[in-house]
Structure formats: structure tokens, C-alpha cells
Chains A and B, each alone.
Chain A
Amino acid sequence: MSVLIFIDQSEGQVKKGALEALSYGAKVAAQLGLSAEGVVLGKLSEDIAALGKYGVKKIYHVADEQLNHLDAQVFTDVIAQVVQSSGATVIVFSNNTDGKAIAPRLSAKLKAGLVSGAVALPDTGNGFSVKKSVFSGKAFAHVAIHTDIKIIAVNPNSFSTAASGGDNAEVVNFNATIAAPKVKVTGVNKVKGEIPLSEAEIVVSGGRGLKGPENWGMIEELAKLLSAATACSRPVADTHWRPHHEHVGQTGLAIAPNLYIAIGISGAIQHLAGVNRSKTIVVINKDPEAPFFKAADYGIVGDAFEVVPRIIEEVKKLKGVA
């Protein structure tokens, strides 16, 4: 019996979500008195054994070239083989883009109950239940899993990626039967040099209060100084001031950074639904009645075109940038 953690990668690099899943999985293993093990599919350019510092003792590696890109069906099949051979009873994913593709398939294949969007360690006091985020961050649900094998997909940015300082893991080359992928990946477009919004620790976001796309220079400058990602409200994406992938909220991306800075955004309930899991929220708005102030930790009532350049100056001083 073990806890098996899926370590997902993109172009040979372990994803941030995978590190969170590893730290979480190692804690679950300690809680249940089981050993923590990992599984890596495809080619990795990093040293796999070194992932032992996150607390995993053993890592199954299926190095086949066909697994460099995700076909959820093939990945599910291979992971199921690892589950069977390792006797894992808890399987942990990140609830990131790969986890959302694979975990539900694995759940149906193994008839193993899945809780996706987990925000806490399981409660094993009476059965086995996991707290998850529901109603777009406006509430939580405690969900009981009734099956012998349990699958948990942990929400990005809910757990730290901190290494617990274990030894190198034993890497086992796992011989799996691999069906030919049916999903052919014909291209990958990554926004170069930008921090992925879903993984960012700090997000600087702009709304309609910025008046037009030509005013985003200061948003980008502040984001760059803070190593932050940029985001926007829905009307801003809908009017093509900013690209669709920056739209956060109920119908856009849901994010949970450590710091969310909202500039010229009113704070409509649908916007809040995508950002209310942020740990600290700073709101800059010229209207003191803007609903966003009710959800904020810190606020400045003022004109963004005056306030943001001042903040940029202060951050430059702090970082020692001329």
C-alpha cells in the first residue's frame, strides 16, 4: 500500500502543480503511515531521483517518447498499470490542466472515488473525506470517498512546493504496455517570457477603469518588477484590449495567487469568484463605493493613473532598480 503521486511535466520540465502534489502526497503518506511514491511519464530533462527531496521514496518512470505529450486515455491506462503493480491506495494529482484531463478518467477506469479541487489534507477521523473548493471559491464542501482506492486532485497554489528534505528517490524504470495515442499534438504555443497566470504567485490585474489597451504599459511594468503575471476582467478580454487567456473570474480562469492587485476593476461577484482564493488582495479604484473594497485586504481610493506610477517608483526603490 502506498500513496502514488502523478508528477506531470511540460517539455521535460516538472510543473509547479506537480511539486505541490508531491508535498501534499508526502504529507498524506505520513498521515496514513504509507510510503510516498511518484510516477513520471515521458522524457524529463531534470534529475528524477532528486525529486526525493519532496519526500517520495520511489519513482516509477515510463520513459517512452509517445508519452512526451498528453493523451489522457493513454496516460490513464499507463498510470492504472502502475497503480496495480505498486498497490497504491491513494493517488494524488495536481488539479491543473493535466490533472483535470487524467484524474477523472482514472477515477472511472478504477471505479475509485475522486475529489478534485482539494484544499486540505484528508480527514480520516471517521471514514475518509477531503475538503474541496465549491461555488467558485465562495464555499467549501467536505466530500467522503467510499471506495478502497481514493483519488485526490489538489488545487494549484493551495499547498507549498517546499521540499521536506528527503534523500534521493529510487528510480524504477517501469515497463508499461502503451497503446498508440489517438490525440496527435501538432503544436505548442507558449507565451514566451511570461509567467503562467495559473502558476503565478503575484498577479497584477486591470479592468475597464484603465480606459483602453494603450494604458496597459504601467500594468505590465509593475508586473515585471514584481515577477508577476498579468490578468484582466471579462469586458477587457471581450473587447480585445487583452488576450482571452488573461480573463479571470467565474467564466475565465480561477486563480489563487499570494497577492492579487486589482486596478480599475469594480469587483463584480463574477469577477470575485475567480480571485477570492487569493491570499492577499489589494484594490486600487477611484470609487470608494466599489464593491471590490469589501473583498480586499488593502485598498487605495484614487486614480490609477496617479497611484500606479507611484507604486512603481516605490517598488523600484525597494528592489534597487534605477
Chain B
Amino acid sequence: MKILVCISKSPDTTAKIAFTDNNTKFATDGVQWIINPYDEWYALVKAIEIKEKDPSAVIHLVTVGGADAEPVIRKALALGGDEAIRINTASQDSFYIASQIAETAKQGAYDLVLAGKETIDYNSASIGGMVAELLGLPYVSLATRLDLNGNTVAVTREIEGGEELCEVNIPAVVSCQKGMAEARIPNMRGIMAARTKSLKVTEPVAAEHLTSIVRFELPPAKAGVKLIPADDAAELVKILHEEVKVI
């Protein structure tokens, strides 16, 4: 069993969102970087759970990013990956990133490729599907549960208002979200072990950029809250009915 987990770095969930260079770049000053929560809590921990049941399983991590992605990938190794690969290029185009991951996946002949549901900065939810297409593999997106039974995986995926239970033979690509696994924190042994684990840096393959970010924009500030006295529920209901017209 060989598993490839896609790890991206994202700004800490409390980071201030601001832009520089005429609103073309995210202002990274003072920003703490974390493992994208979907990649960490769900994709990576799921891989670790599989390995706990089957110690012969191997977990490789891949990240597409510059040297600034290394602390995050080291932390992922401390949680439980066996080896990591960093593809040395920075890009904001999903197809370009997916092309890099697909190349690594092809070379490693993985049984399972796990990605997060989406990155919490660009919210594209695209890379898993693109990697699957580039590899010609089946794809189950937005998975909340995954059980491995020999050569098949039983996966539960989110649909509007419920869930769908599916079965698919490996190799396959799955994008992971809440429900998949419980969040963990790295322990001291893991952190020590991570120092000696292999982190290989490779150069990107040629691939196209299909999109690019022209500029960012912040939403207009809220006008401010209108407070209604606690004993005047009638006023609230009246406003929602007559002014806002939502109820």
C-alpha cells in the first residue's frame, strides 16, 4: 500500500487578510503558516490510520512550493509521513500545480492519492479532480469516510442534504474533509524522527498556466450592527419581514 498525500501550506486561520503591490499580492508580513487544515486533519491523519492498521503501508507527502514551504512539510513528517517531496516552484494556477503532483504520482505508482477538500486561501477545490484526470484515475470528492478493504475502498461522499456511499478499486484519488479522521498533534518522538526523514527537492516539469490572478479585493465593511432590545422580539421579526423581506 503506497499512499501519496498532497500537502499545501496556508495562512493561519486567524491571519489578517490584506494585500500589497496594488492589490496583486497577499500581504505575508507577520503571517504564520500552517498545514492546510483539510490536508492535515483529514488527508494525512487518514493515511496514518491506514498505516497503523497495515504497518507495511508507506506514506509519501508532496508539496508544490518554494523553500518557505519546508517548515510546514516538516511538521507533516512529524505527524507521520515517511518521506516528503517538495517540487520547487510557486504558482497560483491549479492546473500547473496539479500537473506537478500528477508527475510525481505517476513516478511513484501510488495506490491512493489523498488531497484536502480545498485550500483555505484560494478555495479552489480543484487540484484533486485535476490530478485524477491527468492520471486517468477515478475520483471521489468531498469524502467524509474511507475504509480500505483489500483492493477496494469504501468511501462516503457529501452530497446536497446527505451522503452517498461508494466503492471504487484502487488506484484512486480522494479529496478529504471533516468526518474522515480526528485531528492529532505531533508528539516529541515524531518531531525528533522527522529531522532524519528524507525531504527530496525536485524541479518542476513543463506545464501550462491556464489562469492567473489579476487582483484581489476586500469586501466592503459592514455598516455596523443595529441592536434591538432583548424584550422586543416583535421589532426584530417586523424588520426581517418588512424591511429586509427575508421571512
Contacts and interface: CB of A to CB of B under 8 A. Distances in A.
B228 A141 contact: no
A114 B97 CA distance: 13
A108 B130 contact: yes
A310 B14 contact: no
Interface stretch (A34-42, A48-56, A167-175, A311-319): A311-319
A109 interface: yes
Interface string A65-76: 000011111001
A143 B160 contact: no
The dominant DSSP class at the A interface is mixed
A140 B178 contact: no
Band of interface residues on A? 35 or more
B195 interface: no
Given A73-B139, A294-B225, A311-B236, A302 B230 contact: yes
Contacts of B57: none
Given A73-B132, A135-B123, A310-B233, A258 B139 contact: no
B81 interface: no
Contacts of A107: 94-95, 126, 129-130, 210
Interface of B: 11, 13-14, 17, 19, 37-38, 41, 94-95, 98, 120-130, 132-134, 137-142, 144, 154, 157-169, 172, 178-179, 208-219, 222-223, 225-231, 233-234, 236-237, 239-241, 244, 246-247
23 contacts: A101-B139, A101-B140, A101-B141, A104-B129, A107-B210, A112-B210, A117-B123, A131-B217, A135-B120, A137-B219, A138-B219, A140-B216, A146-B212, A147-B210, A182-B168, A184-B166, A187-B164, A188-B164, A190-B162, A202-B246, A251-B178, A254-B123, A300-B228
Interface of A: 10, 15-17, 69-73, 76, 95-98, 100-109, 111-117, 129, 131-147, 182-191, 194-199, 201-202, 226, 237, 244-245, 247, 250-252, 254, 258-259, 269-270, 273, 276, 279-280, 282-283, 293-303, 306-307, 310-311, 313-315, 317-318
Given A108-B130, A116-B125, 4 more contacts: A107-B129, A137-B219, A141-B215, A297-B225
